[in-house]
Amino acid sequence: MRRAALLATDTARPANLLRCATAALALAGAGASAHAADAQNPAAAPTYGVTAEDTWEAINAYAQKAYPALFPGSASAQDTAGGRSYRYANGNTIGFEGPQITLAGPVVGSPSPTPFQTLETFCTDVPAACGVKLRRSMSWQGSPREFIVYVPWAARRSASALPAVVLLHGSGGHGGVPLASWGWTEVADREGLLLAAPSALLHCYLDDANADGTPAFPAEVEVVTKWSSGPLGLPARPLCTTGQMDELVRTGRMTADERTQADHPVPDDVGGLREMARLLVGEHGADARRLYVSGFSNGGEMAFRLAAEASTTFAAVATAAGAVLQSEMTWPLAARPMSMVYSVGSLNLRGQPVVVNQDIMATNTDLASRTAAFLAILGLSDAHRFVNTPVAGFDTGVYVYDTSARQPAASNALYVGVMAGLAHEYPQTLPNTLWALFRTQVLP
């Protein structure tokens, strides 16, 4: 790191300089260096809906989380003529003055703002600190729908439209879950792609948990966020009636606020996610031909439905552990021959045997039923190739279906992966594998 970039005005005080250097290395991470990009004008790059304040807040939050001893607790923010400063109880301050980040307080041994690095240098070296999460809302079918857009620093250095991946959480989740724990933000930081993580609506419904053929009230009631991935609202998974919700409130199994949130019909989530995709393109610079979906569990079921009903909006889809059965509904043939990935843990499948080093498609009815549903919407025959290979760090049995049953024949494919030792979870190592496929898929 160049001394001039670290401290331009304090060369007369070696002790203070040493303290400043130590703090700078901690905040920036090892290997921080100056870049020719320092001379660029950040204002000339696309913003993708991100303001300067969004970036300041993101860097400040990163400093609090990564270095709590230096920047403990919350900070008081004060706008200045050139930007904003964040002052902590221990006297340390992070400031933003135009393109410059400054430090002050005991951390640098100076009560006045001391130049640290330019935003361009710091964010290029530490992209995780500068990725911004934008909370957005839209109205769909009379209900407010929330989603989070993650805009990495690398995206704001691009002058072209960006690919975007939509992340669909599982039952009971919300948009913050996949952004916090699925590993996609690291891929976005590296590749310069947008992420969008919407939240499903809250529902009160009956689910036949004991598989006796009859959803029973009140024993088999669920009050959770849920995507309308198919069976929701049908006899197999009916919504609670008004009287049933009133009874749940009386017995303390549902709050009055939850009852208000859940009092709505089954939403058109396919249409809602199409509308969100339109906003990503129109307001956040996403490339309409490079929109992708990755969903987990109930979100994986929703991804499946998008493959069936929104193949002209999304270029490729991946579903993890979403149990979509061929018997649940009559699914339409996708309008466009889309490629798709289905991943599931070996511990998440029913029936025997469940192994990954040999082809079990003919012997495991659970895996075969799920796969048949995917083949039906993609227009693929059941002929496949099998290979046992490492995928995302897991020993995996991979089934490749690429023989088209369409007329005329298409060139799409289904990849089914059974991952050894994995239960009902979304592995953080999976996004790298999925992105390797997604990046090759573009809408015509």
CATH number of the domain that residue 427 is part of: 3.40.50.1820
Whether residue 150 lies inside any domain: the answer is: yes
Boundary (domain end) residue, out of 125, 148, 171: 125
Could you give the number of structural domains in the chain? 3
**Claim to verify: residue 195 and residue 233 sit in the same structural domain:** no
Cβ partners under 8 Å of residue 409, min gap 6? none
- CA distance between the termini of the chain: 46
**Claim to verify: residue 289 and residue 364 sit in the same structural domain:** yes
**Claim to verify: residue 253 and residue 356 sit in the same structural domain:** no
Whether residue 78 lies inside any domain: the answer is: yes
Over the chain (444 residues), what is each successive 10-residue block's mean pLDDT? 27 32 35 32 59 94 94 94 94 94 92 93 95 95 93 88 97 97 97 97 92 89 95 91 97 96 96 97 95 98 96 98 78 95 96 92 94 96 98 98 96 98 97 97 97
Q: What is the pLDDT of residue 356?
A: 97
Whether residue 35 lies inside any domain: the answer is: yes
**Claim to verify: residue 384 and residue 431 sit in the same structural domain:** yes
Boundary (domain end) residue, out of 262, 285, 302: 262
What crossing angle do the helices spanning 298-309 and 269-284 adopt, rounded to 10°? 80
DSSP 430: H
Name the residue among 318, 421, 324, 425 with its Cα closest to residue 366.
Answer: 324
Boundary (domain end) residue, out of 125, 155, 182: 125
Q: What is the pLDDT of residue 46?
A: 59
**Claim to verify: residue 156 and residue 135 sit in the same structural domain:** yes
Whether residue 353 lies inside any domain: the answer is: yes
Whether residue 64 lies inside any domain: the answer is: yes
Whether residue 395 lies inside any domain: the answer is: yes
pLDDT per residue over 330-358, tens digit each? 888 999 999 999 999 999 999 878 999 99
**Claim to verify: residue 194 and residue 242 sit in the same structural domain:** no
Q: What is the pLDDT of residue 47?
A: 67
**Claim to verify: residue 429 and residue 332 sit in the same structural domain:** yes
pLDDT per residue over 66-94, tens digit each? 999 999 999 999 999 889 999 999 999 99
**Claim to verify: residue 281 and residue 325 sit in the same structural domain:** yes
Q: What is the pLDDT of residue 330?
A: 80
Q: What is the pLDDT of residue 12?
A: 32
**Rg from Cα positions in the chain:** 25
Name the residue among 132, 98, 97, 102 with its Cα closest to residue 117.
Answer: 102
**Ordered DSSP codes for 52-110:** HHHHHHHHHHHHHHH-TTTS-S--EEEE-SSEEEEE-TTS-EEEEETTEEEEEETTTTE
**Claim to verify: residue 253 and residue 392 sit in the same structural domain:** no
pLDDT per residue over 169-219, tens digit each? 999 999 999 999 999 999 999 999 999 999 999 999 999 888 888 899 999
Cβ partners under 8 Å of residue 260, min gap 6? none
Q: Determine if residue 133 is left, alpha or beta; phi over 0 gives left, psi from -120 to 50 gives alpha, anything else beta.
A: beta
**Claim to verify: residue 327 and residue 427 sit in the same structural domain:** yes
Whether residue 444 lies inside any domain: the answer is: no
Whether residue 443 lies inside any domain: the answer is: no
**Claim to verify: residue 306 and residue 171 sit in the same structural domain:** yes
**Range(s) of the domain holding residue 7:** 3-125
**Claim to verify: residue 301 and residue 156 sit in the same structural domain:** yes
Q: What is the pLDDT of residue 193?
A: 95
